[in-house]
Amino acid sequence: MPIQTPTSDLDKLLSAFASLQSAEDIFDVFGVGNLPQAQKYGILLGITTFVVTVSSVIGLLVAGGSFKRIADQAEDGVEVSIPNSIEERLGRPLLLERLLEASERMRKSYRDGDAVVATDGGDGDKRETKEFTILTKMLMNIAPDVEKAQAKMAGLVEENKTRAKKNRKNKKKSVQEKMKEVDKLNLNEFVPQGYEQHYIEAYRKCHEQPGGSTLPGLPEARPEAYARAYAACGSHTTTPYRRSYARAYEAIACTSHATEFTHRERWIHRPSDIVGRTIRLEALEWSRHGEEFWRITSGEAVGGQKGYDPSEVWSFEEEGPFEGVGDLEGSFVFLVTEGEAKFAIVDNVTEGLLGVVRLTRDDPRNLTISLELPIVTPSNEGTVESIEGCFLLLDRLFAHGYRRVQLSVDSMDTVGKKLCGRLGFTQEGTICKDRIVKESNRDSIVYGLLNSDWDKGARAFLFKKLHGDKAMKLDKENNDKEEELEVQNNFLADKKAKVEKKSKKI
């Protein structure tokens, strides 16, 4: 019986596959049967990989609904394309409401202060002044104006004495006269807005749970220290920052009876200073700091330290060394413009001036600002004191709502570049021929520190370096616990308000 010949292409294909009994037959069909064994299996592996890859991609497209979306868009008449730049811009996440409020508040303070502020990172109004700038006042601690309050009370006492002499015949005072005296004794005008509320709130909190053991004979020392530090931060800083700053201040102030007395007296006379563990920041004033700053930066031997070349301090600055005190008074150190703030770094133990740290190029519209390297003596470069001076400013800046702090350093300043790394800044790039300093070219290395970097680890790293590992852990635990209680209290308050509102309707 004759063999039936395939009549169609499909029959021919099936007949051909039926004759394949092994992989060697497949290789012979494709004409690669004479190749070495390793090459044949390499080809087989490549084919297998290709098939698996294509199958996976098709499977993902089907499972992910991509084919369906393309079909739906085609039915709706929508062209399928890569999003353009405008669509990408509209899709960017908006800022937190707190940051937007901070930007508007700071910009308004400049407008109300009749000053011009840079909105593009520029220098803004170059009007120089020896008074405290708006930025300086914003960053300083707040407190009741005790001196003015005492002066008012003294004036009222004298006024009452004079009135008493005139009205000796009238032994009884009318109700209206007594009410007038009570109104005159109202001292709320000398208390910053929100200070009293924050003080009471913090005092109760610390009284319930102090940060350490009570000082013998001074049971109220810790609550008072915590409360005055918490309230001093102002209403515009974040609550976690106020808690952290107040706990650190409480620990520093209440170490012993001696430290409690010292910090209490400092607060009475200089309540606006930002206090740290080793140093405090005082708003820079020529009358208070000028001559001492000249002595420590002139290169002369001061306080048992050896003399040095003043160029070690002033080489990378725009001015200096200075020949005399008068030259320093009229320099960039003590003359400031709006959009700048300058602070003296003062040692907590010796009360000696260590240097100056500056903020420039304030841009509240974009919530950015520049930190300049501290101007300190060679013996204080890179020390804990200079690092803490920068830390205190950075912590308060981010607490007020700033999103980015920039630090620009001369590319040849090796000491300055090291300090940037120690502070947690990230190198962003180099600007060639950025400035002319003392008739020489300066290439600037730009460093940046973001609020997200600060919250995610930079702050904890510096806090641990300054206060120790144990204090850092306690600070985090305390903040986590307080935030949990705050959420719980807010929930209960909202629930109570809803119940009361519902009962009123009924």
Residue 46: inside a domain, yes or no? yes
What pLDDT is attached to residue 251? 95
The percentage of residues in the chain with a pLDDT greater than 90, rounded to a whole number, is 49
Confidence grade of residue 313 (pLDDT, cut at 50, 70, 90): very high
User: With 80 as the cut, is the pLDDT of residue 124 above it?
Assistant: no
Of 276, 187, 189, nearest to 229 (Cα)?
276
Cα(182)–Cα(156) distance, integer angstroms: 11
252 in Cβ contact with 210 (< 8 Å): no
CB atoms within 10 A of CB 308: 16
Q: What is the pLDDT of residues 128-150, one digit of tens each?
A: 666 789 999 999 999 887 767 66
Which uninterrupted H or E stretch holds 225? helix 221-232
Q: Is residue 330 part of a domain?
A: no
* Least confident segment among 118-122, 212-216, 448-452: 118-122
pLDDT recorded at residue 506: 65
Q: What is the 3-state secondary structure (H, E, C) of 421-461?
A: HHCCCEEEEEEEEEEEECCEEEEEEEEEEEHHHHHHHHHHH
166 vs 310, which has greater pLDDT? 310
Q: What is the pLDDT of residue 144?
A: 85
What tokens were used for 239? 């609550």
How many residues make up the chain in this entry?
A: 506
- The mean per-residue pLDDT over the stretch 272-284 comes to 97
pLDDT confidence band for 319 (50 / 70 / 90): very high
Q: Is residue 313, in this structure, part of any structural domain at all?
A: no
DSSP state of 237: S
Does residue 30 lie within any of the structural domains?
Answer: yes
Q: Quick check: is 307 in a domain?
A: no
pLDDT-wise least confident of 3-12, 276-285, 352-361: 3-12
Kindly provide the b/e burial profile for residues 311-321, where b requires at least 16 CB atoms within 10 angstroms of the residue's own CB. Answer: eebbebbeebb
- 70 has pLDDT over 80: no
What SS3 state is found at 89? helix
Q: Is residue 39 domain-resident? A: yes
Query: Does 113 map to a domain?
Result: no
User: Residue 169: its pLDDT value, please?
Assistant: 52
The two three-digit tokens of residue 442, written as one number: 């300066």
Kindly report, residue by residue over 146-203, the tens digit of the pLDDT: 767 667 666 666 666 666 666 655 555 554 555 455 454 555 777 888 899 999 999 9
Give pLDDT, residue 116: 47
pLDDT digits (tens, 9 = 90+) for 352-373: 999 999 999 999 999 999 999 9
State the average pLDDT over residues 394-416. Answer: 95
Indicate the helix (H) or strand (E) that contains 217.
none
pLDDT of 13 strictly over 70: no
Say whether pLDDT at 291 is over 50.
Answer: yes
Per-residue pLDDT at 497: 81
Examine the pLDDT at 119 and tell me if it is beyond 80: no
251-270 burial, b at 16+ Cβ within 10 Å, e below that, comes to: bbbbeeeebbeebeebbeeb
Structure-token pair, residue 248: 């650190």
d(CA 90, CA 29): 58
Q: b vs e for 425-436, b when ≥16 Cβ sit within 10 Å of the residue's Cβ?
A: beeeeeeeebee
Q: Which two tokens stand for residue 315?
A: 């080489």
Give the total number of structural domains in the chain: 1
Q: Would you state the structure tokens that stand for residue 406, as one six-digit string?
A: 């920039």
Count of CB atoms situated within 10 Å of the CB of 445 = 20
Most distant CA pair in the chain, distance? 154
Query: pLDDT tens across 457-498, in order?
Result: 999 999 999 999 999 999 989 888 888 888 887 788 888 888
Question: In this structure, which amino acid lies at residue 497?
Answer: A
Amino acid letter, residue 415: V
**pLDDT band for position 426 (50/70/90)?**
very high
The pLDDT score that the predictor gives to residue 32 is 67
For residue 340, pLDDT over 90 is answered with yes
- Residue 35 inside a domain? The answer is yes
For position 495, what pLDDT does the model report? 80
- pLDDT at position 316 is 93
- For residue 351, is pLDDT > 80? yes
pLDDT above 70 (res 121)? no
Most trustworthy range by pLDDT among 97-111, 130-144, 169-183, 375-389: 375-389
Residues of the chain above pLDDT 70, percent: 74
| All residues at 6 or more sequence positions from 198 whose CB lies less than 8 Å from its CB, including other chains | 227, 230, 231, 235, 242
Distance from the Cα of residue 506 to its chain's centroid? 48
pTM for the model: 0.76
Structural domain of residue 45, as residue ranges?
Answer: 20-73
What are the residues whose beta carbons fall under 8 Å from the beta carbon of 126, sequence distance 6 or more? 337
Phi, psi for 230 (deg, rounded to 5): -65, -50
Q: Classify residue 129 by its DSSP letter.
A: E
Neighbours of 340 (CB within 10 A): 24
Task: Check pLDDT > 90 for residue 405.
Answer: yes
